[in-house]
Amino acid sequence: MLLAVDVGNTNVVVGVFDGDRLVADFRLHTNERSTGDELGLDATDLLRRRGIEIGDIDAVAVANVVPPLARSVEEMSRVYFGCTPLVVGPGIRTGVSIKYEDPRLVGADRIANALAGRHLYGAPAILLDFGTATTFDAISAAGDYLGGAMAPGILISLEALVSRASKLNRVELAAPTSVIGRSPAASMQSGFVYGYVGLVQGIVARMREEIGAKARVIATGGLAELFAPLIPEIEAVDPHLTLVGLRLIHELNAD
C-alpha cells in the first residue's frame, strides 16, 4: 500500500492507496515544530483506527510546502513505515511539462494537482485549490502546466480584517441569503463569500480567454464544497485531487 502525504500550511492530509483505490484518509493539524516521532505516532494511531495494518504500507509519497517539516516527514517515513519517501521536487518524474519560468519554484501540491486533474478530467483545465492560499492552475490543451495565480485564502483574509478592526468579530464562513447584509456579521459574510466568488469567477474568465473557453474548472481544498454551489463555472469538486496526483507520481517513479 502507498501512503500519500500532502503537507500543507494548515493541514497535513494523508491518504492510503491499495492499488488505485483510496482506502483511508485523514487530516492532521500542521505544526512546523512537529518531530518525526510525533507525526509517526499520530499517523500510525489514525491508520490503525481505520483498520489499516502498518506493515502493509510499503511506500510513501510526499508533497511538502512546509520546508521546516521536511526532515520530520522523512524520519516518520523511515522509522514508522520502513521506507525512504518519494518527495516531489526537482529530479522526480511527474509526467507534466512545466512552463513556469523556473519549474523548481512550482509547489509540489500544484504539480500533483496538475497531473491528477489532467488524468481524471482531461485538458485544457483550470484547477482551483481552496487552501491556506487559493491557487489557480492552468493546464493547456496539450496537457502542459502553464502557470497560474495565487490569492490569499479567505480564512487568512477574514482573520486579517478581524485583527485590524476592533469592532468586528469573527463570523461563521457561510453564504448569507442576501448579498445586502443587515447586520455587521451578515455584511462580513456577504463581502467575504460573494466577494471571493467574484474573485474566482473573474480569474477563471480571464484564464479561459487565454487557454480556451472549454477549459474545465475543477475544485479541491478544504473550502471547495462551500464555494462550488455558488460558482457555476466549477464542474466538479474532488477533495482527493492532490492525493491522487501523489499516487500517479509514485507510479511514474516506481521503476
Binding-site positions for ATP: 6-13, 132
d(CA 145, CA 37): 36
| 102 given a catalytic annotation | no
Write 28-35 long-range contacts (CB < 8 A, 24+).
Answer: 30/66, 30/69, 32/66, 32/68, 32/69, 33/68, 34/69, 34/72, 35/72, 35/75
Cell numbers linked to 244:
491522487
Encoded amino acid at 112, one letter = A
d(CA 243, CA 25): 9
Per the annotation, where are the binding residues for substrate?
Answer: 100, 107-110
Catalytic residue among 20, 25, 102, 109: 109
Dihedral over Cα of 218, 219, 225, 228: its sign: negative
Cβ–Cβ < 8 Å for 75, 36: yes
d(CA 210, CA 215): 10
Per the annotation, where are the binding residues?
Answer: 6-13, 100, 107-110, 129, 132
Write 185-188 long-range contacts (CB < 8 A, 24+).
Answer: 188/158, 188/161
Per the annotation, where are the binding residues for K(+)?
Answer: 129
d(CA 111, CA 98): 9
Catalytic residues: 109
